[in-house]
Amino acid sequence: MSPRAKLSFTTDYTHDKSENTADTAVAIKGSLANNNLKTEAGYFGLPLDGRFLTGSPYETYATYSDPIAAGTVIPGNTYYNGTTVNGRPTRGSLDVPPQSDDISWGFSSKLVYDLGHNIDLTAVAAYRSLHDLHNYDTQALPIAVEMTENDITENYINSEIRLSSKSQYIDWVTGFFYFDGRGVQHALLMQPDLGGLHQLYTTYDPNSKAVFANATLRPFGDKLSFDLGARYSKDQKLVNYTNTIDTTPGRGDLRFVVDPHQSKASWKAGVNYQLNDYTLLYTSAATGNSLPGYNTRPLQPDQVAQFDGDDDIAYELGTKVELLDRRVRLNADVFYTDFSNRPTTIGGAEAQTGPNGQALVGNQQLVPLPGGPAGSTSCSTTPLPGNTGIVCIGRTYYVNEPATVRGVELEYTINPFGNLVINGSTGYSKFWAPDIAARKVNRRQGNPFWTANAGVQYEFHVTPIGGSITPRIDWTYEDSQIVSPVSTAYNGLLPAHSQFNGRITFVSDRNGYTLALGATNLFNHFYWVNVFDYQTLGYPETMAQPAAPREWYLSLSKKF
């Protein structure tokens, strides 16, 4: 190859058969169970109550199987009703593996060619393929509430061609980007709670094209520079969705085609000023947007919906500073993002309908959804006597709301002496929008206000063993979070928490080997990673995922 050209090529292959992420039920409110769940539990002679809780965050009653035999008829139950297709029972005795089976592989290449006159041509091309088998046992109860078996394939290519140049007064780059993909989902969705067994087949065909240009101008010398950039893109994602019931054709069948697409121009601008050899000041502004979307999981025909993408302008003001003979390096900034258009999803509920579109009879009722669009509803936590109400089914509502995000960030690297290194970051962000202000409870963002991390390490050079030994300890911190925008019942499950990880690394100077012994969650601290309150959607349970206890690992690598 010509000395003016550089070609690189990378490839990878991964096969992962990990068990599913652990989660467990932390609360059950039996009064919220609909008739299907009550009669299913009653089939075993049990009410749906606290006896379905394990008492341990590391245990679950999820079995990834339906303990009720195929063809069983439970009086009053709309799922276990003896349904047959071509003379064979279709409901009951379903088993799915409790682990995933993922195969991912791909390759990428990059060519850089010197065209002369200080101009480079860069061409990048990549391909990736994924085949993912994974299953859910959503409610972690010994009875079947909802289970999903997924078979997903994805294949996509992306490429980019760009020209770039650097000179005394201007650095610039311009180019073209292309992405094309194909995704297919096969799934079996079993819902004894809602009375349906569904087969899903959905294809996704995303495509994106963009042209872009960026330049850094230095008309007055190296101290002051101006950044300018622009991008024009055409994006679309054709979706062909099919969701049919086991007794298809019927009211429960859903078929639709959606084609979210848009053409957008975006820009960015910035100013950088090198105050001295140790201090850089900068400010910038840039527009952003996302592709319009659609309801990816309609539970009945009236829930098929599309929604707009978001539009925002992000502002940033910051500095990069080196102090004490470059032993202290600081990056600090403040930021503000203004969303003029923001699609939001609000979880609510509506009446489940039957084959003729009529509301099914049950013991539940609907109430107005706080913060939702006009006419939106949620399921009341107060049941009605007998069959004087309806059966709730979850529904996602969409509404565009303006919003703002503001915050500060600080990153640091400190080398006090020798081979001691301390690094880390801390940040604060506040998200605010009218839908938050309209809430009756939890008038705050769901994610933490404050986050932080820090690490300390010291590298010891040990001549007798021909290498170095580096002990390191890392700390992470997250502020408190809320579980639901409509209930404070389980906020105490997500308080502020810290975690420590540790590692000792040996690097051989002789043969390029690296050996590391480490532990995650070093002090075996318990906390919940996330909590999902299904009770606000009309289901009886609240689920949570515990953090993994202390885990040890040993890794060996070699550089060639």
Mean pLDDT of the chain: 92
Q: Which two tokens stand for residue 453?
A: 């991390």
Task: Quote the CA–CA distance of 267 and 80 in Å, as a whole number.
Answer: 57
pTM of the model as a whole: 0.83
Residue 26 CA: distances (Å) to CA of 227, 465, 477, 503, 538: 52, 51, 24, 33, 16
Rounded-to-integer distance, Cα 365 and Cα 200, Å: 29
What is the domain extent for residue 66?
1-290
Alpha-carbon distance of 316 to 407, in angstroms, equals 10
Q: Are 238 and 268 in contact (CB under 8 A)?
A: no
Give me the amino acid identity at 63: T
CA 487 – CA 481 distance, rounded (Å)? 13
Mark which of 271, 290, 309 sits at the end of a domain.
Answer: 290
Number of structural domains the chain divides into: 2
In a domain, 318, yes or no: no
| Residue finishing a domain among 255, 290, 325 | 290
- Which phi and psi (to 5°) does residue 473 adopt? -130, 135
Of 290, 316, 349, the residue that ends a domain is 290
Q: Helical H runs in 415-525?
A: 434-437
Q: Residue 464 — φ and ψ, nearest 5°?
A: -60, -30
First and final C-alpha spacing in the chain: 22
DSSP string, 319-384: EEEEETTTTEEEEEEEEEEEEEE-EEEEEEEEE-B-TTSPBPEESB-EEE-TTPPTT-EEE-SSPP
Each residue of 81-97: pLDDT tens digit? 999 999 999 999 988 88
486 domain residue, yes or no = yes
Q: Tell me if 8 is assigned to some domain.
A: yes
Distance CA 401, CA 535 (A): 25
33 within domain boundaries: yes
Complete DSSP assignment for 225-240: EEEEEEEEEEEEEEEE
In a domain, 374, yes or no: no
**396 assigned to some structural domain:** no
Rounded to 5 degrees, φ, ψ at 434 are -60, -35
Give the sign of the dihedral formed by CA 488, CA 534, CA 447, CA 315. Answer: negative
CA distance linking residue 58 with residue 288, whole number of Å? 42
Identify the burial level of 34 via C-beta atoms within 10 angstroms of its C-beta, where 0-12 means exposed, 13-18 middle and 19 or more buried. buried
Q: What is the pLDDT of residues 152-205, one digit of tens each?
A: 999 999 999 999 999 999 999 999 999 999 999 999 999 998 888 999 999 999
DSSP H/E element including 178: strand 170-191
Residue 444 DSSP code: S
Q: Look at residue 97 in the predicted model and tell me its pLDDT.
A: 87
Distance CA 136, CA 147 (A): 5
pLDDT at 374: 86
Q: What is the mean pLDDT of each run of 10 residues along the chain (560 residues)?
A: 86 93 89 92 90 90 91 94 92 89 97 93 97 89 90 97 95 98 95 90 96 97 96 95 89 84 95 96 96 83 82 97 95 97 86 83 91 87 88 88 95 96 98 88 94 97 91 98 91 96 94 94 96 87 94 91
Q: Give CA–CA dist 465/515, Å, rounded.
A: 13
Phi, psi of 534 (to 5 degrees): -70, -15
pLDDT reported for residue 1: 59
Residue 428, domain member (yes or no): no
In a domain, residue 13? The reply is yes
